[in-house]
Structures are given as C-alpha cells and as structure tokens.
Amino acid sequence: MDYSLTPPEIRVLGALIEKENTVPETYPLSLNSLVSACNQKSSRYPVVEYDESDVLNAIDSLRHIGFAAEISGGARVKKYAQRFTEKLNLGRRETAILCVLLLRGQQTPGEIKGRCERIYSFSDLEEVDLILRKLMEREEGVLAQKFAPAPGMKEARFGQTLGGFLEQAVAEPVAAASSHAGSGPLGDRVTALEHEVDTLRQEVASLRAMLEAVL
C-alpha cells in the first residue's frame, strides 16, 4: 500500500510515536507540545519550524486515514494521539525502528540500534536486520526500503516508505562522522549526549503539559 504521507504528516506521526513511548506521563500531546516535539533540534532530520497550522493540517490528514485521533476527555485543552501502530498491528521492535526512520531519515543498522534504545533495546545488529527485513517484506504493505551505501560509506542505509519510495538515499549530513564513530568511544559519547538533551527536553515538555492542565 502506498501511503504517500507529506513531510509534516511524517514528522507529526513520528513525534507522537516517540512521546507515547518515552514520556507516557505527558501523552497524549496538546497542540503546543506537539508543535514543540516536531520542531526539536535534537534527534530530528531535517530540523523544521512548523507552526500550529502546519501541525493541525497534518493531524487532520492523519485522522482521516485512521493514523491519529483527537482525545477530548474532561480536559479543556485538546490532546492528540497516534493510532498508526495499532492500526497496522506493529510490535515494539517495529515501532522503535519506524519511529527513528520517521524522525531522523535514513539510517544504517548501527545507527538504528543506538537510536532506538529509549523505545526498545536491540540485543545486536542481527536483531535489527531481522526487523528491517520484516518491515520490507510485509504482505500488508511495505514499510521500509533499503538503499546502497552513501559515498565513502560501507553500510547500507534504510528508510521508511510512508512518504513513498525513493530511488536513491538522502543522507543526513553528519551521518558519515557518526557512522564511523558509532561503535567507538566518540559514538558512545555522542549517543549519551543526545539522550541527555532529549531527557531535558522531555522534562520541559512535562512541565509545560502540567501548566496547560491547570490553566
């Protein structure tokens, strides 16, 4: 099945999946929190500056195809949640990989393993490869695509197909450096710093959500 999601829809969906799994206490997300999640500077490629209108339009489109929902409850502030993983019956491993691909673009298996840890900790690269193959061979609709290694690189890269299939890889500019360092001390330090930054952002988002709930 060809979903052909737009870049804003891909970013919104990825942000909802990420926050549901990493900061469940602040999920579902208010519009303000969702805009902030989409526009994060860390763990995002490309970095974007969507406004509320961009995000609302994306949410409406995702709701239309059953990938998102508006949660009213008793709160005055509208909240939003994803229904994508439930609709496609995805497990935690598939969800973790797709979340990274939705938010960060094409990745090597090593990058995927390191960047999935907050949602699912893969035991080794073989397990990552297994789930990537499952995503690429889904009878209900392919969700991942393999690309040849980027120039100067050895590892193949993988991307999500919710935005349609691509003929060639579109690599993150810093991918070469992070890939070379991915299994060494520098790569470990970069990953640790990314996690620290993400944790701080989650704490800020949690405080913002609590303020919105009482205002």
Is the bond preceding residue 28 a cis peptide, omega within 30 degrees? yes
Q: Is the pLDDT of residue 131 over 70?
A: yes
pTM of the model: 0.82
pLDDT at position 188, please? 54
Structure token digits, residue 147: 């690309």
Provide the terminal-to-terminal Cα distance of the chain, rounded to the nearest Å. 43
pLDDT exceeds cutoff 90 at 15: yes
Q: Average pLDDT for residues 128-142, to the nearest whole number?
A: 97
Q: Which helix (H) or strand (E) holds 94?
A: helix 92-104
* Predicted local distance difference test score (pLDDT) of residue 150: 80
Residues of the chain with pLDDT > 70, as a percent, come to: 76
Amino acid occupying residue 68: A
User: What span, in angstroms and rounded, lies between the C-alpha atoms of 47 and 127?
Assistant: 29
Task: Encode pLDDT of 62-94 as tens digits.
Answer: 999 999 999 987 668 899 999 999 999 999 999
What's the chain's average pLDDT? 87
- The secondary element (H helix, E strand) that includes residue 126 is helix 125-136
User: Above 80 in pLDDT, residue 194?
Assistant: no
Distance of CA 151 to the CA centre of its chain: 25
- φ and ψ at residue 170, rounded to 5 degrees: -120, 100
When pLDDT is cut at 50, 70 and 90, the band that residue 179 belongs to is: very low
The backbone torsions φ and ψ at residue 163, rounded to the nearest 5 degrees and listed phi first, read: -95, 10
Q: How far is CA 147 from the centre of its chain?
A: 19
